[in-house]
Amino acid sequence: MSKTHHSKVLIIGSGPAGYTAAIYTARANLKPRLVSGMQPGGQMTVTSDVENYPGFAAPVNGPWLMDQMKLQAEHVGAELINDTIKSIDLNSNPKKAIGDSGDIYTADAVIIATGAQAKWLGIPSEQQYQGKGVSGCATCDGFFYRGKEVFVIGGGNSAVEEALFLTNFATKVTVVHRRDTFRAEKIMQERLFNHPKINVIWNAELDEVTGDGKVVTGVKIKDVNTGAVTDYKTDGVFVAIGHKPATELFKGQVTLDKDGYIVTAPDSTKTNIDGVFAAGDVKDKVFRQAVTAAGMGCMAALEADKYLAALEAAHAPAVKKVVNGNPKP
Ligand code: NDP
């Protein structure tokens, strides 16, 4: 039978933003409840070596790091629930979410930390070599390609930015784009065209990632006009065809931008709905880092705490002021 659980704060999502929000709200004695979603730990659970999360001298394993965040949240008193929110009403009072389990979660404040997913091409070899030479994040994995050659797939800001970033490590970067013009900002394009390490293959698609079963050794690139397939040697493939924020659930309630990301007030995690905050990749298409997501989780927790304190003060019974020994009406 389904149960109803009420908490002051409901956190949706279990990446760095969600767990950090849980840690801070728990330590503020708000007894938060975090519903972890379909992929507990989020995108970090598909990252093997994390070298850029501060606090660790040696690289750490992504799933391990997320497990530590989870344990830390539990240790300070957050309640973590394995369920996936299927529907939500953010305008009701209290706010009301329904899980896959049938359980109902009501809360005075909601922190949305559902993250985003890198888009993939969907070819089998891309999946086979993920983490073995195929990556969706140059900032995370570029360092491993020092002195090597890489391919970048895509033609938007992400692809161009990743290609430029990868020149810090790789000896040669080849960008493959399915059309004959980029969608990226002109200034970024100019930087790319002027870079001696980068070359572009236009009107082409990644047909297959090739390898020895353990690591990537090459790619098959298909000309979209002629259908001709050419083999290239490479050490890595960065797929940069965009990200998809997990905001389907909130459509029609929380304001989203044209790409589907949650819009928040400047320097804040506040959304257009009172008591609803958003943190991490679900509202960030620029930085997309675990450490920035964690920072935003902290911000959301502090803002939720402030919101709840104001709510409580507004509902507290009126205390008559005493002036010169006489109660003032
Ligand atoms: P975009 O949607 O802008 O670009 C995706 C690119 O991938 C396009 O060139 C598209 O090709 C290509 N693509 C999509 N699907 C496929 C496919 N199946 N096969 C081959 N190619 C494909 O995504 P971005 O991540 O680049 O950017 C998303 C948003 O984030 C944008 O608004 C961007 O401006 C912003 N952004 C901002 C940054 C910054 O400010 N520093 C950095 C990164 C992103 P086609 O052009 O043919 O559609």
The pTM score is 0.78
Q: Three-state DSSP class for 316?
A: coil
Q: Is the pLDDT of residue 327 over 60?
A: no
Mean pLDDT over residues 34-40, rounded?
91
| Residue nearest (by alpha carbon) to ligand 1 atom 5 | 241
Q: Is residue 153's pLDDT more than 60?
A: yes
112 pLDDT band, cuts 50/70/90, is very high
Residue burial 213-227, b: 16+ Cβ < 10 Å; e: rest: eeebebbbbbeeeee
- 198-257 residue pLDDT tens: 999 999 999 999 999 999 999 999 999 999 999 999 999 999 998 899 999 999 999 999
Q: Whose CA is nearest to atom 2 of ligand 1?
A: 242
Within 6 Å (CB) of ligand 1, which residues are found? 121, 154-159, 161, 178-179, 183, 205, 241-243, 259, 285-286
pLDDT for 49 equals 72
Q: Can you tell me which atom of ligand 1 is nearest the CA of 205?
A: 20
Residue 12 has pLDDT above 90, yes or no: yes
179 C-alpha to center of ligand 1: Å? Answer: 13
Residue 328 has pLDDT above 70, yes or no: no
CA distances in angstroms from 11 to 19, 30, 130, 183, listed in the order given: 9, 12, 29, 35
Q: Above pLDDT 70, what percent of the chain?
A: 95
* pLDDT value of position 48: 64
Lowest mean pLDDT among 217-231, 281-295, 307-321: 307-321
Atom of ligand 1 nearest to the CA of 185: 34
Mean pLDDT for all residues in the chain = 94
140 part of the active site: yes
Residue 61 pLDDT more than 80?
A: yes
pLDDT, residue 46, reads 65
108 catalytically annotated: no
Quick one: which atom of ligand 1 is closest to the CA of 243? 25
| Distance from the alpha carbon of residue 157 to the mean position of ligand 1, in angstroms | 6
- Is 141 annotated in the active site? yes
How far apart, in whole angstroms, are the C-alpha atoms of residue 120 and residue 169? 23
How many whole angstroms from 152 Cα to the centroid of ligand 1?
12
Mean of the pLDDT values across residues 173-189? 96
CA of 184 to the centre of ligand 1 (A): 7
Position 322 pLDDT exceeds 70: no
Distance 286 CA to ligand 1 centre (A): 12
Max alpha carbon distance in the chain (Å)? 93
